Chain A
Amino acid sequence: MELLLVILIGVLYASGLYMMLRRSMVKLLIGLILIGNGANLLIFLLGDLSKGKPPVIDVALTAFQNAYADPVPQSLILTAIVISFGLQSFAVVLLKRVYMITDTDDLDQLNSDDQDI
């Protein structure tokens, strides 16, 4: 399971970066989404995968200390997902506005402002 996740995360990061380096704005957006999901999965993986264990145990149950799942990564991912959702939806709207104003989705055409060198 770990190995599978490691490969998946690697693929997500690599394809995300590759997409971000393309000239099309839509591909840039897809790249951002992919790389963001890669980061979320990475947090999930590094919190130690464990199956069927309770996340919260009573303070007195010292004997079970090794038998509970770490709840922190999941709360981190939850926060990160919400944040990236907000940012990505902003990016979608921004790209649409830019497309409407400039009439192109080619990132290389977006330099009307560089009058000097």
Chain B
Amino acid sequence: MTDHYLISPILTHLFSVILLLFCWKKVRLQKVISISSNAVIMMIAVFLWMKVWNQGILSMQGGDWQAPYGITFVADTFSATMILLTAVAGFAVATFSAAGISKQRIQHGYFPIMHLLLMGLNGAFFAGDIFNLYVWFEVIIIASFVLMTLGGKKPQMEGAINYVTMNLLASVIFLTAIALLYGLTGTLNMADLSLKVALVQNRSMVNVTALLFFVGFGIKSAVFPLYFWLPSSYNTPPSAIAALFGGLLTKVGIYALIRMFTLIFPPDEFLHYLFLFVAIATLLTGAAGALIKRDFRKMLSYLIICHIGYMVAGLGLFTKSGMNGALFYLFQDIVVKTNLFLIAGVIFKMMGTMNMDRLGGLAKSHPRLSALMAIAFFTLIGIPPMSGFWPKISLIRESFTTDSYLLLAALIIASFLTMYVMMKMWTDIFWKAQTQEIPQGKNSFDELRPHHRQLLIIPIAFLCLLSLALAFGAEQVAQVSNRITTELMEPQGYIDAILKPNSKP
């Protein structure tokens, strides 16, 4: 179905950017505009999701040039769900930023850039044209570069170098892969590519192209041998920015991987084993990395890597329930990782440090807040009935039935290590008696004005509630991921929706 409604999240973000640029120095106004526009976008996204759920795949052709010639925007259930989660995370981060980001950063354009980043994410989820996907990726990375370096403290700049270099390299590899794919098939439309790549005789060239895509997206989503930039850069910017990065940026890489390797390059034997190997290695190295770190946000960064492994594992298994688990995991991971980085920001405000050795005693000083944070911690571990548990069980069951015992072991070890790391965090931050006094003037949380404190707490509570909703509504979430899996595994519906938009499905 052709429907122009679907680019409204992108346009609303663009409009907010323009509006925000006009109030460059008016900090308070910028906060109000950003929070309210994010709230509007969240409503648009809910409405769009309902529309896609009821009417099937929506598509839109840029300039009304019919596919495969024009630029296509598509919203299938996968895209719509990712848009919805992006909007939710964007709303939470915008609210948090209103109190968590310093005035200087806002005066240097924090909010417009944040909206540009979210716009790029929305665009990437909607892109139905591979070159358009590249362009949206560039929008994302240029916005993230600015957010990464905004403020310009020394560690931030050093982290930014790693981040910028690796992302530029990833885009070049992505571009190379697009060039090869265009040379092989002569088309850029993803639905059309899906049909034409299957017909290409030169299979070895197709495999090389697929691997280039894998490396390009793999760098962005931080899988096993390509993740080193992540832990050295995600801990440097302010927590609100890190939350946006940790929650969404690696996930857009995973989104692109899942999209490419279900629609255009259905994995053959070799890719299947490659994915499984990468998943196992990512799970183990990520968890092991988190074990030895003593900086709260560095541990979280390594846990991001570890949990990317679950999603790659689902893609590697390439069975219905495996994919199901990967998608469910992806959805709940966006919510919980965003939340944990926001929590890290609040803890930093309270104690003035991220070092586990110097943290402590929070359960005593802020009991209610600690109880709230416990929800996010338990969700990440995946203690039943929290939302991390359901996808894990389907991934573990699926690796058992397909006889991938190494993967099974890796999944269980990674879960166990995650639990150990989170337990260590919990005892160190909340239960351990505080070893040293907080230096005078470092505890800026209690000195904040009450409404600012609420601005920090509300997004965390909101995301915790959402995590709980995902946990107790697991049945419904499973239905959603089931439908997405069906759409992904049988791409004919997607192809028809784009190439024959006006015929009745």
Contacts and interface: CB of A to CB of B under 8 A. Distances in A.
A binds B: yes
B236 A43 contact: no
Interface in A75-111: 76, 79-80, 83, 86-87, 90-91, 94-95, 97-98, 101-102, 107, 110-111
B135 A87 contact: no
Interface stretch (B49-57, B154-162, B391-399, B478-486): B154-162
Contacts of A112: 154-155, 158
Given A72-B188, A112-B155, A112-B158, A47 B182 contact: yes
B179 A39 contact: yes
Interface in B232-284: 232, 235-236
B355 to A, nearest CB: 8
A96 to B, nearest CB: 11
A73 interface: yes
Contacts, number: 101
A98 B152 CA distance: 9
A83 B172 CA distance: 11
A90 B158 contact: no
Interface string A61-80: 00000000010110010011
Nearest to A28: B165
Nearest to B162: A110
A113 interface: yes
Nearest to B69: A72
A114 B295 CA distance: 10
Interface string A1-43: 0000000000000000000100001001000100110111011
B138 A20 contact: no
B172 A117 contact: no
Contacts of A111: 158
8 contacts: A20-B165, A35-B169, A43-B179, A83-B138, A87-B138, A94-B149, A115-B295, A117-B293
Interface of A: 20, 25, 28, 32, 35-36, 38-40, 42-43, 45-47, 70, 72-73, 76, 79-80, 83, 86-87, 90-91, 94-95, 97-98, 101-102, 107, 110-117
> Which 4 A-B residue pairs are closest in the complex by CB-CB distance?
A46-B183, A113-B155, A110-B158, A43-B179
